[in-house]
Structure 1
């Protein structure tokens, strides 16, 4: 029998990863689609008058098995893929797009939904029930339920093609990432690199049966090389290789795919009655139009740019001392590290021994315990998809199981770059029980090396807390309907919990509890902790401009500005020019590997990182006023997290904070306004 469909007794009904045969995915998804369609057909054939329970709730509860199987498949395709799964993804993605269209474009089903929407009094529903009704109706009409049969067919074709192209885009980026190595054979080429990074490179070479040292485009190898290598020509080589992922003259080139994706998204928007894809997407965002997004980004640009220019001028002065008259983007990380050392007598590398991964993870768990009463118990009896994955049972204040948390922290050839949170099972309530979620966080940190454990840079510490913040959003979910649970919120609200958690990394009273040397247990010296806190705003102007540039580029692609004749390189350079502080390097571009918008869910939504920063800065200032672990404030924030998408996000925020967020909180925290403002 199919390994994905047969009942296997596992703790907490967890995914039986070790029993899964990858060859079973396609037939399991086909079976689950058939089951879900039968559930939908029962709704359509129900002869009782359409009502909230027999139509809206019945639709909400359909396809549960399909949701789980497809979540397992796509999560494995991101974190532990192979050629078979990648090829299968190109088959399965259009199948799921077609299934989704079969539901959304089903005229009889929409007729019933519309009757319920038109005849149900809001006063007869709870806030969450009304939210589900409103969301269901809008999902249908916004995605083509009112189209003619001819246009419905066009929409199906667009959706299927987009499903294939976005998968292909990510596969091309992964292949180019894995295909490149910087192979060094001369020891003098290692000048400036810390011993630990050299040791990792030696191990990488041995793994590949090569002499010398190997550096890759994976984050734990690539970033330290740019930061510490004294050899400018080598920094240039590896930087350009990174900026050419998906942009080389090979079969992995994503330029044509970008044109196709952007054009298809525009066609979809016009078919549905919107001027641009951004107009379509922003209907369900806090920032409800392209103009609001652009005004927000450009206002922030004007405030941040003078600070960013001043920061880069300091880096230029350092480069001139080394005989470099024109500093380039591949010099930035190196001179930023020199400047950090000069300003704060602090280097990321010297801090790493104080941030072993296990210690940092425990600190994140401790923070969740202090804030929300959660505790984390490692389980060795739960199946996992890779030996490096750990699984934790999450317990609430009453010591009852509240969730499962999977953690996967090290880079592999089958894992895409970056860091993310996801889920295998969502939270929802039945009449009998509260089904608890199974959450996962995935990162790419340095592996243990011999007797040395995985040691994190401080920026990696904040990355872990960021993803853990997303995980807490999922773990604390406590809603009736899964589609409104956890991170199922407006996209420009979803980054609030994650970015909020990063703030704790800069709080002295918290840092002293876990910044301890992995060998001696000695707490990081107080003056260095003070310097970490002081360095919170280090190069914030530059980082802000960088994020704004990505946001502007995203909006340019999705407001119908890319023409068929445009080269991706020229288009990109044009639209981020006002945020660029270094000369453009020919034959490089970020767009062909910009997975957030061409593979992930951030299309017309990349601005949300900065948008949510306003929220998180304002929220954390509330904690600072009352104490960073103040129980009453934490309980209010826990309520916000637990409600998911059951209310308008601004209403949830006001209920927590007592007022709307104030943008000044972000500017003050980032040091982008003077003290007298």
Structure 2
């Protein structure tokens, strides 16, 4: 409300309303430009796309100007496929550069100017100051990022060394000894292929139906809640693929509803998300609590016929992530709807979703629902441990990438009048990444999170750190403990955004928080190091 100017005089409030409106317009334009950018195409001779499967290449459209070539659309999925699998570095570079969205150069500039004007109108130093006002984090975000960067740098350097070796083997000693953005995914995939650490070997254990059953098992054990499919009224569902589920507590009755919309279709939102359709709220004396309603949206490939839909481990993790958001929305009980569930500081509301990712890694949880669709065999503890180790193969570089994006987001909102954001990004790249930046490529034009996460992208890392602390405090010994689940619900999820996030976090894990758990889970900190007194103090920098 204060960001809307509620405390200002009428004329000043009008200015703030106009600036907020303009900010939303520019954000929409930025997003629309990204959508329009996917219609661009770049053409190649089929042989240049080796080793993509011939069937996939045949499915590509022919170039209208050169029938001997096929076109690659700038869809994120198509670009990602090229980056990950095409061996020709020139092709990868051309697709990478073509995927930039040049119309967003001016849109981003205008968006940052409007946000700065809004901060000025509300008497803040900059837009970052507005963003940080109600956040759960207490430390300077940049200090957090810089400190975390130091912790992961050594492992990231070792990982880049692996990629450089693979590149030299593939392209020869004359390849220059650099790993560029268009090399990163390709050589990571080559390294992971040797260990099958991409999760493809686990798909048979993660049928979509089993994962939904696993979600139901989890809330039953943690909270005493049944996740049940229920009948929808006529015209209630927007597509035949959508299922309506209810959360019913063993003593409290129905708590809310979830629509599962899990398969892709034309015109549908093409990422994963939880959307709040109706917030919960008190309706007045003698009236029932308004039950929250959410949609859990994903885009899992639905194979026709009788074959079960199989997910990679990463896709199963995404499903549980969004289910964490849904549980936050449905289990909160607040007086006002604008404080219900995920209506809170962005670094706070991402915590439950990251916490729920932990369950999909724990053998004690997986053994209860993740079984081979072919043999019925459950995953062994050893298989999960090996997969987690392999998945951390490039955790240093992955965390570096998130640090880089977070730092760039902070720079955007503290120095909005920079004349060259491409150069700013390149400079930060050299500071926070161990690979080589691309020269004069306006990557910032594709940074869609600048719209919804403006001055808050660091929250992704922050929430992962806090979620790791909560996991260690509540669920490490027993991931399906009813006592731990009830504590999570009563001391954290129940309040939505109506309580000070810092108080809710410390009610679960106390004051002695650090990044130890997160670094250990990422394979950066050894198990024994967590007990070292000197290190214990060292890793408290976050708080």
- For the aligned pair, the TM-score class normalised by the smaller chain equals 0.7 to 0.9
Over alpha carbons, which structure has the higher Rg? 1
Equivalent residue number for residue 259 of structure 1: 109
Gap runs ≥5 in structure 1: 1-138, 248-252
Q: Which is richer in helix?
A: 1
Tell me, in whole angstroms, the C-alpha distance in 1 between the residues paired with 2:252 and 2:60. 43
Structure 1 position 482 matched with structure 2 position 346: no
Q: 1:413 to 1:211 in 2, by over 3 A?
A: farther
| Aligned Cα root-mean-square deviation (Å) | 3.0
Deviation at 1:660, TM superposition (A): 4.6
Label 1:415 to 1:553 Cα distance change in 2 as closer, same or farther (>3 A).
Answer: farther
1:507/1:533 contact within 8 Å kept: no
In structure 2, C-alpha distance between the alignment counterparts of 1:443 and 1:630, rounded to whole Å: 28
Say which is worse superposed, 639-648 or 549-558, in terms of deviation. Answer: 639-648
2:268 aligned residue (415, 420, 425): 415
Query: Does residue 548 in structure 1 map to residue 409 in structure 2?
Result: no
Counterparts in 2 of 1:181-220, with a 5 A limit?
A: 186=46, 189-191=49-51, 216-218=73-75
The match for 1:339 is 191
* Match 1:429 to one of 261, 282, 297: 282
1:227 matched residue in structure 2: 84
1:170 aligns with 2:31: yes
Q: Is the 8 A contact 2:4 2:17 kept in 1?
A: no
1:588 matched to 2:445: no
Does 2:141 correspond to 1:293? yes
Cα deviation digits, residues 455-488 of structure 1 (max 9, x gap) = 3222222111111111110111122221222112
Aligned-partner Cα distance in 1 for 2:511–2:303 = 46
Aligned to 2:18: 157
In structure 2, the CA distance between the partners of 1:238 and 1:389, relative to structure 1 (3 Å rule), is farther
Structure 1: which 4+ aligned runs deviate by more than 4 Å? 181-188, 198-206, 210-222, 449-453, 524-527
SS in 2 for 1:506: coil
Q: Secondary structure at the match of 1:446?
A: coil
Tell me which of 167, 171, 187 is aligned to 1:323.
171
User: How far apart, in 2, do the equivalents of 1:399 and 1:257 lie?
Assistant: 49
Bigger shift: residues 371-380 or 486-495: 371-380
Give the drift of 1:498: 0.4
Give me the whole-angstrom Cα distance separating, in 2, the residues matched to 1:334 and 1:201: 18
Change (3 A) 1:303 1:477: same
After superposition, where does 1:221-620 map in structure 2 within 5 Å?
221-242=78-99, 244=100, 246-247=101-102, 253-287=103-137, 292-324=140-172, 325=175, 326-342=178-194, 344-382=195-233, 383-398=236-251, 400-430=253-283, 431=285, 432-448=287-303, 452-524=307-379, 527-563=382-418, 566-598=419-451, 600=452, 602-620=453-471
Deviates more, 1:393-402 or 1:262-271: 393-402
Preserved CA contact (<8 Å) 2:228 2:246: yes
Whole-angstrom distance in 2 between the partners of 1:353 and 1:622: 32
Partner SS for 2:348: coil
Cα 1:305–1:240 shift into 2, 3 Å: same
Tell me by how many angstroms 1:176 deviates. Answer: 1.2
Instruction: Give me the whole-angstrom Cα distance separating, in 1, the residues matched to 2:304 and 2:380.
Output: 25
Aligned equivalents of 2:421, 2:96: Cα separation in 1: 19
Other-structure match for 2:541: none
Q: Any conservation in 2 of the 1:151–1:271 contact (CA below 8 Å)?
A: yes
**In structure 2, distance between residues paired with 1:281 and 1:526:** 42
Deviation of 1:561 (Å): 4.2
For 2:486, what is the secondary structure of its paired residue?
helix
Checking the alignment, whether the CA contact within 8 Å between 2:49 and 2:88 is kept in structure 1 is: yes
Residue 174 (structure 1) shift: 1.2
CA deviation after TM superposition for structure 1 residue 144, in Å: 2.8
Structure 1 residue 187, shift from structure 2 partner:
7.4
Aligned to 1:35: none
Give distance in 1, aligned partners of 2:44 and 2:367.
Answer: 39
Matched residues in 1 for 2:96 and 2:377: separation?
36
Deviation at 1:418, TM superposition (A): 2.9
Separation in structure 1 between the aligned mates of residue 119 and residue 231 of structure 2, nearest angstrom: 48
Note if contact 1:219-1:418 (Cα within 8 Å) is conserved in structure 2: no
Secondary structure, aligned partner of 2:228: strand
Instruction: Look up the SS of the partner of 1:428 in the other structure.
Output: coil
Is the contact made by 1:437 and 1:474 (CA closer than 8 Å) also made in structure 2?
A: yes
**Cα 1:283–1:424 shift into 2, 3 Å:** same
* CA shift for structure 1 position 505: 1.8
Tell me the residue number matched to 2:477: 626
Normalising by structure 2, we get a TM-score of 0.86
User: Contact (CA 8 Å) 1:220, 1:444: kept in 2 or not?
Assistant: no
Q: Distance in 2 between matches of 1:199 and 1:347?
A: 22
> Which SS does the other structure have where 1:538 is aligned?
helix
Cα distance in 2 for partners of 1:205, 1:451 equals 30
Note the alpha carbon deviations across 1:99-124, whole angstroms, 9 max, x for none: xxxxxxxxxxxxxxxxxxxxxxxxxx
* SS in structure 2 of the partner of residue 394 of structure 1: strand
SS in 1 for 2:133: helix
* Alignment partners' CA distance in 2, 1:451 and 1:199: 23
Aligned mates of 1:215, 1:189 — CA distance in 2: 10
Unaligned runs of 5+ in 2: 530-534, 536-543
Task: Tell me, in whole angstroms, the C-alpha distance in 2 between the residues paired with 1:232 and 1:499.
Answer: 35
Partner-residue secondary structure (3-state), 2:435: coil
Q: After TM superposition, give the deviation of residue 438 of structure 1 in Å.
A: 0.5
Measured in 2, the distance between the counterparts of 1:167 and 1:509 equals: 44
Paired with 2:56 and 2:244, the residues of 1 have a C-alpha distance of 26
Aligned to 2:538: none
Q: Deviations over 1:250-273 (max 9, x none)?
A: xxx111110101001101101111
